[in-house]
Amino acid sequence: MKEWDYGKPWFHGSPILLNELLVGSTITQDRELARIFSHKPSIVAYDEDGARFHNGKLCGYIYIIDEEIISEDVYPHPATTMKPGEEWLIKRGLKVRKIDDTRTRVEEQLSREEEIELLEKLKNR
């Protein structure tokens, strides 16, 4: 994406303590999305008001990428279900610094019924 501001902060969420991300890891400039990813969800969904819901159950960490990112370092995730520009993959290992601990939030949790419904919708696309 040529028109992207690569100079803004980049984040990664994980339930694992890290110092560096491996090639192919996911990063985002959306700190809240990184927080949700820190819970290791297999489903992230949005409602019509833009509220996010997920099925992640783990506590985790938010990391900031601790070095400069340029366009050659990242590319948009080719199989994302997110909005364009929300989820990127990295082409080289990157140093990270932990900036926050995370806890799951009850109000964001998908019920088992909601998970099944979303999976059916995806299957029927």
Q: What is the pLDDT along the chain (125 residues), one digit of tens a residue?
A: 568 999 999 999 999 999 999 999 999 999 999 999 999 998 888 887 878 889 999 999 999 999 999 999 999 999 887 888 999 999 999 999 999 999 999 899 998 898 888 888 777 76
pLDDT for the residue 2 = 65
Mean pLDDT computed over every residue of the chain: 92
Pairing of strands 74-76, 44-46: unpaired
| 28-33: Cβ within 8 A, 24+ apart | 28/86, 28/87, 28/88, 29/85, 30/86, 31/62, 33/82, 33/86, 33/87
Nearest to 112 by CA among 29, 31, 25, 42: 42
Identify the DSSP state of 107: G
Contact assessment for residue 21 and residue 73, using Cβ atoms and an 8 Å cutoff: no
Percent of the chain whose pLDDT exceeds 90: 66
pTM as predicted: 0.87
Q: What are the pLDDT digits (tens) for 87-116?
A: 999 999 999 999 999 999 989 999 889 888
Cα separation of 100 and 108, whole Å?
Answer: 19
Residue type, 87: E
What pLDDT was estimated at residue 43? Answer: 85
